[in-house]
């Protein structure tokens, strides 16, 4: 594959678009390079939230669904949507897994423990689901229900936890069952970076009641701590450890941040014969049956690259490593011989405000290294700083994180230009462009938004592109990448390329054909380079390499030839047709070849250059 047919995808996590103003850390940051790219390169905004990506209408985007849709090339019905559909259809109250567990607990007079994030941020959980769960559990006759609340302050405004705990108590009163038994901040309970000491503290307060005693759940809040870092507390009046034969239901619908805690509890409680269920499917070491299954996400970018033999490298810090691997691949953890993963060790969460650059220099070094390798067709990397630091709610630190990202993008794009690669930049969801609440209080806000995200193409030298007619969503990113790589859009993809590259055009029903902009003298191509339905004149040398002689330019004009190459013989009075890779020549007026759409392409009148 020629250098200009190879590229880089940079996901700028949390890079959203909003008018400049108070609370917009991205607009406040000094980003001369990104500003110049958006002014001089093909750029547009794309939707990254709500129904455009498979979420409920008006729901903010997130990294998990963002990367899944980027990789799938189509909206992916998110787990929260599937859960809500079951609730709306009354299916939760008749769910067999829930009914069977509740029947056993009621018969044996055992307790059910509900564990999950208590907020309506809609990134990991929805506190409103607790109402339906409590009503269903009560209908099944379970009388002992303990709630272990995980406070948020990250996907929703800090300081809002008390209101959510009050909301939970209203639900328990309505259902006639349930009491808050413990409280812990998500900084402990939802760590996903391998900080097992934090996970253990959260797990022990839930499983064994080990924590600071408080009279009421709301008394656990404050104490100079943000909602995210509420220390593990036990509600004294309801102090309840998880007993032998009890049941657990994890109420988060998103897997990645709850699974570390779930794994700890399953292992810690192994001798207590506890029945464990989850609201949605988790990727834990132990198999936890979910009440609601997942949507299929096959036929995406990973499958298309593998099918055509293209090699990709995925690079990210630990916080976002699963996003560029597991989630881009449609929640598929299978290893692929054409895919390499590079994990950059992340700093601990306590360092994010003090080190907004995180390990960006190591990410850049890895991207540059692999961009220079001819055998790598596509580099996919996540630059996590804007989102990770944005979640702290620290405006000044997020401005610095954005500026670090700007310099990183410049280094990567410079290296890409030297290697003859194109670069696509895209946000996966909004965040840092809105860091205060929209209400009168204007409190610090570190959550996600429904704002669109920028998408920018930095073409390779000499590469020409034209804007395509498409609504513009994250579902268009995989088709765009395949288009730039010279491949057809996957059959299961509903997205469309945001830009058409001059390296390939569509010639009616004849399929995708390449232009010589993607090739130079002596260029070689592999079968994958031709895309679906390529028609080109090739010459196979003794070493088996296929050299491009000429390719169709999509118009009824003379064929374009690679400099220094020509068709054999006196061809001034010949017309050249192509059937697959077989050249059909007809002399002048004696044309006997019948052109069949999709099988033959007119290459024009052949001649020496």
What does the block give as tokens for 365?
A: 């070094």
What does the block give as tokens for 506?
A: 């569509």
Question: What is the spatial distance between Cα 288 and Cα 276, in angstroms, rounded to a whole number?
Answer: 6
Q: What are phi and psi of 310, to 5 degrees?
A: -85, 140
Question: What is the spatial distance between Cα 319 and Cα 388, in angstroms, rounded to a whole number?
Answer: 8
List 49, 63, 80, 119, catalytic entry:
63
Integer angstrom CA distances of residue 101 from 46, 191, 330: 44, 28, 30
Q: Can you spell out the DSSP letters for 456-517? A: EEEPPTT--EEE-----BGGGHHHHHHHHTT-PPPTT-----SEEETTEEE-GGG-EEE-GG
Integer angstrom CA distances of residue 278 from 114, 296, 517, 543, 590: 10, 19, 53, 57, 72
Q: Specify whether the CB–CB gap between 253 and 124 falls below 8 A.
A: yes
State the number of CA atoms in the 13 A half-sphere of 191 facing the CB. Answer: 23
Q: Is 63 known to be catalytic?
A: yes
Residue 418 neighbours by CB distance under 10 Å: 13
Answer left, alpha or beta for residue 550, where phi above 0 means left and psi between -120 and 50 means alpha: beta
Closest to 65 (Cα-Cα) out of 89, 48, 86: 48
- Largest pairwise CA distance in the chain: 98
Q: Specify whether the CB–CB gap between 231 and 223 falls below 8 A.
A: yes
Q: Both ends of the chain: CA-CA distance in Å?
A: 24
Which residue do the tokens 């007993």 mark? 243
Q: Specify whether the CB–CB gap between 423 and 10 falls below 8 A.
A: yes
What does the block give as tokens for 110?
A: 């055992």
Question: What is the spatial distance between Cα 399 and Cα 411, in angstroms, rounded to a whole number?
Answer: 19
Closest to 189 (Cα-Cα) out of 251, 277, 133, 262: 262
State the number of CA atoms in the 13 A half-sphere of 454 facing the CB. Answer: 25
What does the block give as tokens for 17?
A: 């678009």
Question: What is the spatial distance between Cα 122 and Cα 365, in angstroms, rounded to a whole number?
Answer: 35
The catalytic residue positions are 63
């Amino acid at each position: 594959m020629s250098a200009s047919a190879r590229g880089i995808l940079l996901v700028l996590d949390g890079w959203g678009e909003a008018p400049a103003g108070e609370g917009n850390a991205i607009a406040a940051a000094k980003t001369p390079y990104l500003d110049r790219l958006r002014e001089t390169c093909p750029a547009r905004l794309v939707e990254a939230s709500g129904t455009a990506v498979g979420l409920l209408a008006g729901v903010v985007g997130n990294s998990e669904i963002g990367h899944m849709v980027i990789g799938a090339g189509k909206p992916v019905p998110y787990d929260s949507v599937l859960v809500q559909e079951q609730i709306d259809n009354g299916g939760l109250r008749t769910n067999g897994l829930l009914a069977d567990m509740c029947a056993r607990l009621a018969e044996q007079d055992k307790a059910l423990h509900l564990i999950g994030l208590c907020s309506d941020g809609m990134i990991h959980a929805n506190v409103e689901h607790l109402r339906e769960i409590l009503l269903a559990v009560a209908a099944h006759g379970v009388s002992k229900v303990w709630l272990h609340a995980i406070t948020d302050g990250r996907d929703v405004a800090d300081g809002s936890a008390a209101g959510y705990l009050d909301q939970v108590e209203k639900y328990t009163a309505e259902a006639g069952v349930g009491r808050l038994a413990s409280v812990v901040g998500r900084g402990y309970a939802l760590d996903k970076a391998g900080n097992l000491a934090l996970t253990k503290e959260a797990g022990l307060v839930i499983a064994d009641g080990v924590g600071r005693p408080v009279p009421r759940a709301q008394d656990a809040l404050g104490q100079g701590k943000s909602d995210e870092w509420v220390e593990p507390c036990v509600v004294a009046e309801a102090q309840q450890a998880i007993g032998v034969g009890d049941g657990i239901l994890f109420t988060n619908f998103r897997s990645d941040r709850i699974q570390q805690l779930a794994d700890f509890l399953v292992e810690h409680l192994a001798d207590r014969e506890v029945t464990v269920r989850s609201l949605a499917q988790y990727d834990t070491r132990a198999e936890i049956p979910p009440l609601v299954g997942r949507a299929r996400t096959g036929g995406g970018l990973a499958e298309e690259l593998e099918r055509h033999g293209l090699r990709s490298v995925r690079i990210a810090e630990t916080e976002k490593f699963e996003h560029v691997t597991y989630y881009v691949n449609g929640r598929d953890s299978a290893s692929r011989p054409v895919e390499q993963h590079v994990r950059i060790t992340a700093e601990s969460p306590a360092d994010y405000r003090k080190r907004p650059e995180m390990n960006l220099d190591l990410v850049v070094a890895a991207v540059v290294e692999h961009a220079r390798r001819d055998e790598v067709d596509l580099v996919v990397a996540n630059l996590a700083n804007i989102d990770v630091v944005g979640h702290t709610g620290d405006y000044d630190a997020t401005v610095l994180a954005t500026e670090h990202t700007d310099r990183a993008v410049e280094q990567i794009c410079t290296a890409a230009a030297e290697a003859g690669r194109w670069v696509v930049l895209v946000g996966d969801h909004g965040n840092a462009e809105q860091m205060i609440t929209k209400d009168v209080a204007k409190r610090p806000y570190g959550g996600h938004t429904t704002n669109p995200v920028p998408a920018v193409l930095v073409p390779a030298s000499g590469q020409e592109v034209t804007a395509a007619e498409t609504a513009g969503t994250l579902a268009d990113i995989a088709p765009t990448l395949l288009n730039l790589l010279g491949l057809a859009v996957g059959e299961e993809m509903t997205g469309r390329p945001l830009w058409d590259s001059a390296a390939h055009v569509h010639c009616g029903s004849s399929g995708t054909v390449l232009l010589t902009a993607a090739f130079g003298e002596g260029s070689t191509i592999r079968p994958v380079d031709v895309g679906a339905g390529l028609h080109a004149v090739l010459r196979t040398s003794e070493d088996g390499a296929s050299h491009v002689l000429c390719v169709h330019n999509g118009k009824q004009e003379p064929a374009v030839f690679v400099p220094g190459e020509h068709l054999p013989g006196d061809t001034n009075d010949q017309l050249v047709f192509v059937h697959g890779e077989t050249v059909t020549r007809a002399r002048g007026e004696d044309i006997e070849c019948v052109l069949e759409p999709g099988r033959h392409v007119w290459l024009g009148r052949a001649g020496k250059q």
